[in-house]
Amino acid sequence: MEGTAERPTRQEKEPATTEVTEVAPNVLRTQLPIQLPGLGHVNCYLLEDSKGVAVVDPGLPGPGSWRALVDRLKRAGYKPRHVHTVIVTHSHPDHFGGAGILRDRYGAEVIGHRRFRTWFDPSEDDTEVDEDGEPVGGAEPWGRPAPWRDDAVAGPPRSHRWRYRVAGTLMRRFVRTPRPTRRVDDAEIIALAGREWVSLHTPGHTEDHLCLFDPAEGVVLSGDHVLPTITPHISGLAAGADPLSEFFRSLDKVAALEGVRQVLPAHGHPFTDLAGRAASIRDHHEERLQQLRDHTAELGTATVEELSRRLFRRRSWGQMAESETYAHLEHLRLAGEVEARRERGALRYRLT
C-alpha cells in the first residue's frame, strides 16, 4: 500500500497559461487548455522562419481551443494566415484540433506519420494499407470486442458510449478532419524553423506517433512519447501484436540520439536528459511486468480485469487500465513467460 505522503503535482496536469516563451532558437512554447484525465494543457510549439510559422499539436477540436490558438498566435505576433505548416505528432484529439481549419481555411500543409488516422473519420478507414494488406491507421478500434473479455467492447464505457457516437457524428459534420496533406515515414527531412529536422517514427503510445529531431540545435519534439513526469498510456488495443515491445524499441531509439540538449514534450515542461527519462519510463514498465509475474504466481490463474486491479488504484479501474494490463500480459505471453486460455468468455493467464 502507498504511504500517506502527498504525491507531487504532475507537470502535465498544470493548467495552461497564456505565456509565450522561446525554448530553442526560433521555437516558441505556448500552451492550450485541455481537460482530460491527468492533463491540464497541451504544449503548442510555434516554429518561426522566413515564410511565417509552423505549428506543432494545435490542441483539441472545438471553438474554445481554436480561440486559444488564435490568441497564442497573436501574442507571438502572428495570425492564422501566417501558419504554413501544421505538425501533428499523433492521432489523439488534443493534438490535432486546429489542423483541419488551418489546412482548409488558410492553406497550411498538415504533416503526420504515414499511419495517421482518426477514429471519427470513417472515410480514412480503407484509404491505405501496408504491403501485407493491413490498415495503416493509428486510431484504436472502438466498437469492436475487447480481446480479453467477450462482453467488453473497445472504447468508452457503455454508459458513456452514446455521447461518443453523438460526438463522432458532430465531428464528422462540423469539424474539419486533420487528414495530413503530407505523410512521412521514418528518417525523412522536414524543413522547419530555418533548419532541417529528422522525422522519427516512435510507435507505442499510438501506432502513428511521430517525434522530430533537430540535430543542428540538439532539439527533440517528443510529443507524448517521452513526457517529463508521467508515463504515456500503452494500449493493448493498438495496432500490432506487441505494442509494449514497439514502445521499448522506440524509447531505445530516441535515447540513442546524439547531441540532444533540449526535449520539448507535448505536456509538461521542457527538459534536457532524454536518455535518462526514457530509461526511467522503461523501468516503470519493467516494474509493471514484474508485478504481473508476481501477482500471476500468487493467484495461479487470473483474468486481465483481476490483474489490472492489482496494478492500478481504484480510481483508475476500467478499460484503460485493463487495456494497458492486457498489453503487458501479451508482451509476457509472446516472450513465453505466461500462457492464456479463454474460459467462460474471458482470457485467463498463468505462468508457464
The per-residue pLDDT for range 85-141, each reduced to its tens digit, is: 999 999 999 999 999 999 999 999 999 999 998 865 544 443 333 333 333 344 445
What is the H or E stretch that residue 110 is in? strand 109-113
pLDDT digits (tens, 9 = 90+) for 132-190: 333 334 444 555 678 999 887 665 555 444 444 544 555 555 567 889 999 999 999 99
Query: CB atoms < 10 A from the CB of 268, how many?
Result: 20
Is the pTM for the entire model greater than 0.85?
yes
Task: List the one residue out of 333, 330, 323, 337 whose CA is nearest residue 142.
Answer: 323
6 confidence band (pLDDT: 50, 70, 90) = very low
User: What are the grid coordinates assigned to 179, written together?
Assistant: 487528414
**231, 285 Cβ separation under 8 angstroms:** yes
What domains sit in the chain, N to C, each tagged with a CATH number?
A: 11-281 (3.60.15.10), 285-351 (1.10.10.10)
Residues composing the chain: 352
Buried b (16+ CB within 10 A) or exposed e, 21-48: eeebebbbbbbbbbeeeebbbbbbbbbb
